[in-house]
Amino acid sequence: MCGIFGIVTSEERPLGPVLVEAGKRLSYRGYDSVGCATIRADGTVDLRKDVGKVDDVARRLQFHEMRGTRGIVQLRWATFGAPSRANAQPHIDSDGDLVGAHNGNVVNNVELREAFIAEGMTVRSTNDGETCVHAVERYVDRGHSMLDAIRRAYGDLEGDYSFVIGRVGENRLYAFKKGSGLVAGLTDGIAVVSSDLPSILPLTRRIVRVEDGEIVVLEPGRIELRRVEDGARVEREIETVAETMEEAQKEGYPHFMLKEIHEQPRRARELLHLYDASPHVATLAERMGRARNLYLVGCGTSYHACLLGATYIARLAGRPAIPVLAPQFVPQYVPALGPEDVGLFVSQSGETKDVLLALDAAVARGLVPLGLLNVIGSTLMYRSRAYLPLACGYEISVPATKTFLNQALAFLYLALRMGGHPTAELSRVPELLEETIAAADRQIVELVDGLAGRDDLYCLGYGLTYPIALEGALKMKEVTYAHCEGMLSTEFKHGPLSAVTEGYPVVFVCGPEDVARVVSGVNEVTCRGGRAIAVAEEDPRLRANAHDLIVLPEAGPLLNPLLAVVPLQLLAYRMSVARGIDPDFPRNLSKTLTVD
C-alpha cells in the first residue's frame, strides 16, 4: 500500500525534481508520508523524509537540492508502524551503506526486527521497509555479493511486496518482487524502476515487466533480470507502451470501478497475510468479546458490512452485536452507554463525519472506541483506542467495492477469533474470488441488455445474504441512477410484491442453507410475471424455478456472502456503462462525506 520509484544515471545530476515528480504520479495510490534518498558520486547518502504530502514535504526539506547518480522516492501508506518520520521510507542499514524502500507488507516484520536487533544491527523504526534493508544487510555483512544477499533475503521476507535497494560504491540499483507490482524502464543513459507504470511514462515508454521471483539490476542505460532461485539470467524483450497516464493508472481497465473489482482477490490475500501476523487482531477480538454491549457503527456500505459482521459474530462467537447507522447511534444508544461498552467504528476513509460524531458522543459516555478503516493517519485511526487497517490501498472509484469486501472479510476473521475458531479456511477466499469474477462477468454480460433499460428493481437476501442484498442495491442506485431497493426476501410479500408486473426484475441473493425458503419467494415473483434472477451456488431447485441463475463457486454458508457481492458489483458496473454513465464518478456523490 505504498509506492516506490528508483533511478540510475550515468553521471551525477539534480535528481530531486525527478523524484518529486515521480512521487506525485504515485500519489493517487494514497499515502501518509514521503521520502527521498540519493547516492552521490562521492559515496555519501542524502536521505530526507517526513509525514505529509509530497509538495509540502518537498518544500520543507528542499528535495529540489538533492543530487546524485542514483535516487529513490517512496510514498508510504502505513501498515507496520504509525505514520512518523522514523517510519517513513526510504531506510538505511546499520552503517549507512545501503538504502532502500518497499511497497507492500512483510508479514513477519516483528520476528525479523527482533532477530536483527539480537544480531547487533541498528534498527531505527518499526516499519517493514527497514526490515527489507536489514534482511539484505545480514548477508552483505557475511561476505555475500549484493545479488546473492538479495537472493537469500528474499527467502527470509514473507508477504507480498516489491523492494528497491542501492549500495554505496556501486552505480546500480537492485529491485525484486514477490506478489506486488514492479516495472522497469530504459532510456539513454538512464534506467528506472517503479511499483507503478505511471511514474515511468514521462521518462520512457520502453519498459520491462518484472515477474515474481525475479531481481532486476539497473545500471545507466541497462537492465538485467535474474532469477531469485538460482541467480540465472532471464531474457525478456523490452516492450514499448502507448498508454496515457490515466490509462496506466487503470492498468488497461476502462474504469477504476472495474479495476478495483478485479483487485479484490489480491487485496483479500494481503489482508489475510496482514491479520495472520498482526497482534492487534487479538487485541480487538478480546475487547469486543468482553464488552457488556458491542456496537458496530457505520454508514452506507460500511453499515452493510456491520450488519454482516453482527451475523458472523452471533453465529461464530455466540454473542450479540448491535449494528447501527452512525447518525441513529447517538439518539438511540448513546444515552445508555457506559465504560463497559465497546464500539467498533467502521469507515473506509476514516473521515466520515457521521461516524466521527457518533464516536465522540459515545466516548463522552465512557465507551471504548475501536476502529476498522482503510486510511492510516485518518482521524478515526487517531481517535480509536485500537484499530485494524483494511489493507485495500487507495480506492479511486466513488462506489466502494474492494473496501466493502475487505470489511466483510475482516468481520469474519474477527468473529472466528472471538469464537476460538481457526482461520485457515479463509485462505481459500482469494482463489474463490478469482473464480467468481471470471465466471460471473460472463453470465452478467448476457443479462445486461434485458436489464439496462429498467429504472426500478429489487435485490433480496436472507440471513447472511441480507446485507449483501442491501449492498448490491446500493451499488445499483449509485452507478445506474435506477431505483433498486434492497430488502429481506421474506419481507417482500408484505407489500412490495405489489410492484411486480410482467418482466419486472427481482434479484435473489441466496446462501446454500436458504434455498428452500428463497424458492418460495422466487415463485411469488414468477407467478405474477416477474423475472427472478438468483445469485447462488448451483442448485437444481433454483435452476428449475428462477429465470436466471448466476452461479457462485461452492464455498459454504460463511464464505458465500463474500463471493455473492461480486456479481452484484459487476451487474451494477455493466448496467452503468450500458446506460452511458461514468461509474467512477456518479452524479451528486463524494468518496468521503465530511458534511452533515
Active site residues: 2, 591
114: left (phi over 0), alpha (psi -120 to 50) or beta: alpha
Cell of residue 449, nine digits:
441488455
Burial (CB < 10 A; 0-12, 13-18, 19+), residue 499, is middle
| E strand residue ranges, 281-385 | 294-298, 322-325, 342-347, 368-373
Q: Which of 373, 376, 291 is nearest to 87 (CA)?
A: 376
Q: Where are the alpha helices (DSSP H) in 217-263?
A: 245-250, 256-262
For residue 73, give the nearest of 159, 205, 183, 193 by alpha carbon: 193
Which residue, 132, 260, 129, is CA-closest to 569? 260
The half-sphere exposure of 541 on its side-chain side, counting CA atoms within 13 A, is: 16
- CA 547/CA 544 separation, integer angstroms: 8
Q: Are 178 and 212 in contact (CB under 8 A)?
A: yes
CA 294 to CA 119: how far, in whole Å? 44
Side chain identity at 491, as an amino acid letter? E
**Torsion region of 377: left, alpha or beta (phi above 0 gives left; psi -120 to 50 gives alpha):** left
Encoded amino acid at 93, one letter: D
Q: For residues 334 and 260, what is the distance between their CA atoms, to the nearest angstrom?
A: 36
Distance CA(151)–CA(133), nearest Å, equals 13
